[in-house]
Chains A and B, each alone.
Chain A
Amino acid sequence: EDQVTQSPEALRLQEGESSSLNCSYTVSGLRGLFWYRQDPGKGPEFLFTLYSAGEEKEKERLKATLTKKESFLHITAPKPEDSATYLCAVQVDAGNMLTFGGGTRLMVKP
């Protein structure tokens, strides 16, 4: 069974304090790993897709990386507006839907 685990469940940072969120996965044939941001009361907003180990993608203060077992979302010098829940999901060769992790709730204090 495909499994996606995100850690930590919650993370409190001071503005400017860089950190990383982890997404570990156990799947049979990874097609893609997706990162989304979800604000309270909103639908998930697409951030990145990673397809192969060693791949990296960046957007503003966010950088996503992928290995054969996990992905990291690095947040550099975060701002309060980065506060949200970050969701990781995998898409596998045998299916088309996304399987999501439980998310990491990030709170950045000014």
Chain B
Amino acid sequence: GAGVSQSPSNKVTEKGKDVELRCDPISGHTALYWYRQRLGQGLEFLIYFQGNSAPDKSGLPSDRFSAERTGESVSTLTIQRTQQEDSAVYLCASSLEAGIFGNTIYFGEGSWLTVV
């Protein structure tokens, strides 16, 4: 596609339920990132994938959060047993190759998660 695509755009879930958020990166982009943005705050890094290398999970806030990526395509961020503090926008981004001089990181429109 032309840009990074995320779904759902909005999700309301009950506390304790699991949610899955999906990201389709720009075609040909080998690097994929997940960020979280709470209301009125900056972006927090969660996880990134580079090709078939082991993902960098250093930003995941707890073991309730996990993410997968199939090859160099779609990624899914899963939040288990959701809590109210998980309410935020979850932003996905992609780039041609992580760490390469001159690459640009493009963001999707985000998935707005509200836990009630």
Contacts and interface: CB of A to CB of B under 8 A. Distances in A.
Interface of A: 31-32, 34, 36, 42-46, 49, 51, 87, 89, 91, 95-103
A99 B107 contact: no
Interface residues of B, number: 24
Contacts of A44: 43, 91, 107
B42 A98 contact: no
A44 B4 CA distance: 11
Contact of A87 (B43, B45, B102): B43
A81 B109 CA distance: 19
Contacts of B4: 43
A31 B99 contact: yes
Contacts of B91: 43-44
